[in-house]
Chains A and B, each alone.
Chain A
């Protein structure tokens, strides 16, 4: 029940196209849904995050769409650029003791944006 399922495993998009990555979760106690971007040899870096009280959040070219009833959320990257080529992880968490949050990660999507 703690799993977060992510798809696709890999994605190839032309420059200027839209990249869409999907995640689904089971645990209804999850109340925080971040997306992380990871470049080779680097740690994950927070890209954008959403809480379940809103259905969409947009920051620049990045948008999270959230469907609470379906227990799904997705990342949309508009006008994809070669510099966006990285591995993207969705994650979810719920508050535990002391306000520390255990992040449960999806399996990752390797995005390649062709020039």
Chain B
């Protein structure tokens, strides 16, 4: 079964450094998302991406964050200058295009295994 993959599984960085988290969504999917989960807390939406532009973003997704689809397969999240509070598990998700008159396939978001980001 196709799955979303993410690399690296664990990233350790110093405060103020830039990090890029990488995701390979499921191949025929057109909608891409980033979520984060601070240890022991709920999963929080960061950003959605469709047709090569941001569709929606949360208040967490400030100017330090950016997303890009540099080629036909990768989807990346960049944090320009990491802060201690950016330490979290970051999940990429993707969903398929809906069929005409049937949005069900668009509703299901498939999550990757996550990248644990530790900012020291």
Stretch among A13-21, A63-71, A75-83, A100-108 lining the B interface: A100-108
Contact status B95-A43, CB under 8 Å? no
A108 contact from B42, B93, B95, Cβ within 8 A = B42
A106 to B44, CA, bound (A): 9
Task: Please state if B111 and A43 are interface contacts (CB–CB under 8 Å).
Answer: yes
Total interface residues in chain A, CB < 8 Å? 27
B108 within 8 A of A: yes
Instruction: Give residues 32-69 of B contacting A (CB, 8 Å).
Output: 33, 35, 41-45, 48-51, 55-56, 58
Contact of A107 with B55 in the complex, beta carbons under 8 Å: no
Check: A32 CB closer than 8 A to any chain B CB: yes
Q: Using an 8 Å CB-CB cutoff, how does the interface string of B11-51 with A read, 1 for contact, 0 for none? A: 00000000000000000000101010000011111001111
A89 CB contact (under 8 Å) in B33, B43, B107 = B43
Question: A interface vs B, CB < 8 Å?
Answer: 32, 34, 36, 41-46, 49, 89, 91, 93, 95-108
Interface residues of B (CB under 8 A from A): 4, 31, 33, 35, 41-45, 48-51, 55-56, 58, 91, 93, 95, 97-98, 103, 106-114
